Structure 1
Amino acid sequence: MRWPFRFGGKWASVPACLSCLLRKFIPLSRPPRILRSLRRLLIGLLLLAIVPTSGNARTGWRTHALVVNSLGGALSAAQDKAFFRPFAAQMGVGILRYVWDGDPRPRSGHAGRAWTVALMEDSTARAACMQGFLLRLGGAPGSADACGVPAMREGIALAWDRGRIPVAPHWSDFWNVVRYPGKRGLRRDPRSTLEIALMADGVAPADVYAVLGTPEGVARAFRKLSQLRPYIEWWTSPAESARIIKNGSVLMTSAAGGEVTAAGTGQRDVGLQWEQSLDNGLSWGVAPDLDRAARDRARSLLHFMAQPEQVARFASLYHAHGDAGSVTPLLMDAAFWHEHLPDLSKRFADWLAAP
């Protein structure tokens, strides 16, 4: 497109005109690379002064957009295709999607963005609800389940490098570093990690929470973890759990099954062992300090995501579990973790910090 500027009797774009003018005033004695960089900088500054911006329009658009926090990786990509893009197109509402750590608690000095709807673990949603960090959507005032809207269940399985271990291992093999030397991946969080430690120590899945609910059971889980401490590579997000097995950083890892499946072939032939896997519930929470219009937009999105056709589309994009009926996973107990997470998180942090 021609801009209404002439230089030397010829039509030219704004940058071209500015470049010609700058050649007249910037000495050519400087090295060519420095000269080009200086000219680009000056052109950019002049364009900012000449070309009007749409800052007010952009600010207004952000003000009326839904800000959605999710957990990143293939999960967020599938949600974007199945939920967010179709909703935005149908409703004419902008959606800004960000990756976050799943913790809605206010933190001192935290510079995070304000959000509208966020995906988090069920145990996190229960605690946040009781502490007033989520909008109460229904239920009794003292209910811990009145805030989170069920989103999905994520399978956590044992992922391993099939190029080095041809037969599917179990959690007991996960601890056998003599027979299977190499790094192991575990989540840097007591949730899922302590359950896995107890199953590796011989506790039946049906008994895990009864054992973990006692001081002796907690001590047993941490003793088991201590046996593996030098070999552990910690992960903090579902996407990272898949990445460390795909790039060969670990021989085996606990991992979000959907992320491993979505990662494709990658650098390794990775298998998933679904026996003694865990099933973790995830929920959507709504920020508590929204105005009425924002709350209505949030509820519209939650309703849209719950429609059967959207649920089916998401399931076709993100395979969070193994073959239906092949195994019975251990359902992660949100009520247990709501009650015990503060104490076990402190115990876990102290264990990590110990020499």
Structure 2
Amino acid sequence: MAAACAVAATGAAGAAHAEGTLNVVSWGGAYAKSQIEAYHKPWMEQTGNQINSIDYDGNVAPVKAQVESGNVTWDVVDVELSDAVRLCDEGLIELMPLEELPPAPDGTPAEDDFIPGTLHDCAVATIVWTNIYAYDETQFPDNPPKTVADFFDVETFPGKRGMRKFAKANLEMALMGDGVPANEVYDVLSTPEGVDRAFAMLDKIKDDVVWWEAGAQPPQMLADGEVSMTTAYNGRIFNAIAVEDKPFKIVWDGQVWDLDLWVIPKDAPHKDLAWEFIKFSTATEQLAHQAEWISYGPARMSSVPLIGDHAEAGIPMGPHMPTAPENFTNAVQNDFLWWADHADEMNERFNAWLAQ
């Protein structure tokens, strides 16, 4: 809650914005930069409006707090799918007229152009991203880790582990690390025995874990030698490799992939302008342009052929997308319905486990 209050205060600090200014909230770092370059700057240049970019840690508690207090200061928020579903169910975000989304360049309606499952009553997806783990190649020159099971093997692959201080994705990776096939993860996790099994795997490395909360932390932890391997958002590690020339390597086995989506808090001060921004930023060209700044897959199928080289490093981006066939052989999609139903229970157990 302290973190939530701090984030809320950050949003409030930027609330005194002019009529043509949007408070757009996202995750910071290389990801926010990709949005600024692909969405914010072109939209501001085209419309003359302004964007106040606010970073947060993904905790959507401030959305609920702002709406319930009647003091909404955020106009557009980038959220994960399970949060979008829950916020929509609770009436905390605006319904969206999805039929107004722009078609693909060839005239294909938006509803047929977006990847199935990426358009929702209250949210429009922008990217496919994934939770992976990565390691410092200098730490394992002779026998590098190759599978998700290796992440949980501190005897063969010694060193500290970085993990997000959150239940989601950790439980799925723990089960895959214990041999559960990707397509059976949520069946197993839906049983008390399966939950126990996931926590038993986490127990194996608990004493070696350094916890992170913001997406920018894992690559910094690797760079500082604080950990030898860490879970992370794939785009953050890619940015460290491609732009900062870090000796990091992504292990795609056991990845847990997800979506990020734009939502508009209920009664946002500039909700009409916010919708105009969302329509612009989720057009084919803009989504393709974002993929030239970070290795997250566009939510529109028409964007994929337009993806070029990295805007700064100049390397082809296609092979670095989480959905590239060679990267997608043992991957599980975050089950947003499962998490919408079980998030409170799993987070409570996770926090209790942390405190033990």
Task: Give the alignment's TM-score, normalised by structure 1.
Answer: 0.76
Q: C-alpha offsets along residues 54-74 of structure 1, whole Å, 9 cap, x if unaligned?
A: xxxx99853431100000110
The partner residue of 1:69 within 9, 25, 28 is 25
The partner residue of 2:293 within 309, 317, 332 is 317
Tell me which structure has the larger Cα radius of gyration: 1
Aligned: 1:221 with 2:198: yes
* Counterparts of 1:318 and 1:327, CA distance in 2: 16
Cα–Cα, structure 1 residues 334 and 323, in superposed 2: closer, same or farther, change >3 Å? closer
The partner residue of 1:147 within 122, 129, 134 is 122
The answer to whether the 8 Å contact 2:87/2:93 transfers is yes
The answer to whether the 8 Å contact 2:127/2:260 transfers is yes
The partner residue of 1:126 within 85, 88, 96 is 85
Cα–Cα, structure 1 residues 59 and 270, in superposed 2: closer, same or farther, change >3 Å? closer
Aligned to 1:159: 134
Cα–Cα, structure 1 residues 114 and 61, in superposed 2: closer, same or farther, change >3 Å? closer
Q: C-alpha offsets along residues 314-345 of structure 1, whole Å, 9 cap, x if unaligned?
A: 11111133472113221111111111111101
* Counterparts of 1:73 and 1:61, CA distance in 2: 23
How far did 1:210 drift? 0.6
Aligned to 2:247: 269
Structure 1, unmatched stretches of 5+, are 1-57
Cα–Cα, structure 1 residues 168 and 224, in superposed 2: closer, same or farther, change >3 Å? closer
How far did 1:248 drift? 1.6
Aligned to 2:276: 300
How far did 1:113 drift? 7.8
Q: How does 1:131-280 map to 2 (within 5 A)?
A: 131-137=90-96, 145-166=120-141, 167-264=144-241, 266=244, 268-280=246-258
Higher relative contact order (CA 8 A, sep 6+): 2
Q: C-alpha offsets along residues 234-283 of structure 1, whole Å, 9 cap, x if unaligned?
A: 11122212221222211111111111111237585110111221211111
Aligned to 2:351: 349
Cα–Cα, structure 1 residues 133 and 207, in superposed 2: closer, same or farther, change >3 Å? same
Structure 2, unmatched stretches of 5+, are 1-13, 99-118, 297-320
Number of matched residues? Answer: 290
How far did 1:130 drift? 1.1
* Counterparts of 1:149 and 1:304, CA distance in 2: 12
The answer to whether the 8 Å contact 2:81/2:259 transfers is yes
Aligned: 1:92 with 2:94: no
The answer to whether the 8 Å contact 2:28/2:55 transfers is yes
State, as a whole percentage, how many aligned pairs show the same letter.
29
Aligned to 1:13: none
The answer to whether the 8 Å contact 2:72/2:268 transfers is no
Moved more, 82-91 or 158-167: 158-167
* Counterparts of 1:190 and 1:60, CA distance in 2: 35
How far did 1:131 drift? 1.3
How far did 1:101 drift? 2.3
SS of the equivalent of 1:326 reads helix
Aligned to 1:42: none
Aligned amino acid, residue 277 of structure 1? Q
The answer to whether the 8 Å contact 1:103/1:124 transfers is no
Aligned amino acid, residue 82 of structure 2? S
SS of the equivalent of 1:238 reads coil
Aligned: 1:332 with 2:321: no
Q: C-alpha offsets along residues 88-124 of structure 1, whole Å, 9 cap, x if unaligned?
A: 11011110000012233334999x9811000010001
